[in-house]
Structure 1
């Protein structure tokens, strides 16, 4: 039996593109659409429209009536470099696919999240991309009127919602191991919370990025035979101003370290300034590295060594997966995708 995947292979495109062409969507280049139709004719493939779900038919009818082709993006913050860069890439990718993007920020607040989902669902958004949420999958489904949804960096064991994850645990483990390879033995962690227990069994029960990054650090310490010390956790909110203040206020802790791992690049920006303020040289006196890989990290002085996540891939995977859900691609099981990373070695470590 010939499938969409077979047609896509013959035409040199994805199954999603085949679905778009054969369902009459107009966001495919004419030459590509022609190749798909010719391949379908050669293989005697015909779309079985009777198998389309009622939900798909309602979505397509609503989309045509409203002229929508709109994706809703709810992201935790827009005034920080990482989410701002991610939002820009998602909007750009959606535009390339023929969709517009409505962007809102949640501030990781349940009330805001509920309100934003309801508003976006009432604005003829065809689907939602939602950053790590405090809401359950069932509540998201209900508030969105069962519109297609993709979650970003929410590691909870969701049963019905697709998820794109950053490599928080493996990336953080790699960061600690990298600092160790550079000679660091008293590694501090900036962005954790020493008031919480950080033993591995407890950390394994959490699903947010902060706890998963801490878990990666703990596992690296264990693997390397390093002593884990709560005294080397520099607590701070995940912002540059907060991180700079934390360096000032926790200077004794900082000076007990020979390297600092910052849980985000934004934290690292504040740390670099804070270390300069107290006369600690980077990397001569203190190695510094972080997690994210945003473009701004190449512009700091010194340039920031970081666990560089494939942010473009997060955007592409999220948008393309959501469009596949909007088009109700058959036989598409729930997706849980963790993007890759590499160590971007620069001047700070």
Structure 2
């Protein structure tokens, strides 16, 4: 252990904490320790008891956002000593109960903000620590870790309005109760109000926020003759679908239409032009989530709101056109 500490440039106590789970260490220190372990072929002797299993309830893997969250979870969870199981919750029924009977589940992470109430009641009855990841839950029995979706969408809409885009096509998931979709739409409405502009409900399209859905909603808006100089999609992959639909009818981004996404997943930085987006701190949200299960003390279920960031890419510019994009301008192209 001393050799690993020396090679990694940390103290032996830090190496001990890393392997025995009393406290977590920083990501940078963990990477140096792991590299030193590989170089020295060190095999740690674990003395702590099995910390149990974290169950992640997943709605679907259609959205790239969920796939990225799962990848980051799988990368982070070994540092905490937990095992992890993924339980799909898209189908009706009570199959999930079998998992809880057979596995030593010590924590639950919800990725679906509209989780089935019977499932929530079942998990709460077992007194298992739970975290709602990336959303607000109407069920106050779980901890909530997320960004301020209303403020984030408000800033995104204001950014486009400051670029003189008064005609904005908005792509959202279906708003429910206090869902993120509802909050983001509300944030956009407030931005329009602050600019003294009327919010046009006809310029809002609802769908799954996948790439295909973003493409279809944009194509539909063009067919319907909806005018817009910018599009604000509430997921990055839906924003990429917007760009494809515009390209298919001869419109360029950002020359003809500015496009903004939401989430800040790695894909948004890998495309050309680089997507302007509202970035969520996914890694930090995961750290806060896993830290919850490390705390053995009884604690009140609380809400943690982490800071978002507007990442300026290459898909938004000042609107210099005399009129918004419409079906007629598309036909001329």
TM over 0.5: same fold? Answer: yes
Aligned residues: 280
* Deviation of 1:29 (Å): 7.8
- Write the deviation string for residues 229-284 of structure 1: whole angstroms up to 9, x where unpaired: 12211333221112112222221457510111101112112111111111111101
Alignment check: 8 A CA contact 1:91 1:100 kept: no
* Deviation of 1:320 (Å): 0.8
- Answering whether residue 112 of structure 2 is matched by residue 132 of structure 1, we say yes
Distance 1:262 1:180 in 2: 15
- Answering whether residue 104 of structure 2 is matched by residue 105 of structure 1, we say no
Distance 1:168 1:252 in 2: 30
Distance 1:316 1:181 in 2: 35
1:292 is aligned to 263
1:210 is aligned to 181
2:139 is aligned to 158
- Write the deviation string for residues 292-315 of structure 1: whole angstroms up to 9, x where unpaired: 000110122211100011111111
Runs of 5+ unmatched residues, structure 2: 1-10, 26-47, 317-333
1:309 is aligned to 280
Q: TM-score, normalised by structure 1?
A: 0.72
* Shift in CA distance, 229/130, structure 1 to aligned 2, threshold 3 Å: same
1:291 aligns to what SS in structure 2? strand
Matching residue within 319, 332, 335 for 2:302: 335
Alignment check: 8 A CA contact 1:173 1:216 kept: yes
2:239 aligns to what SS in structure 1? helix
Runs of 5+ unmatched residues, structure 1: 1-11, 32-62, 194-202
Matching residue within 20, 23, 26 for 2:20: 26
Alignment check: 8 A CA contact 2:173 2:209 kept: no
Q: TM-score, normalised by structure 2?
A: 0.75
2:4 is aligned to none
Distance 1:254 1:266 in 2: 24
CA RMSD of aligned residues (A): 3.0
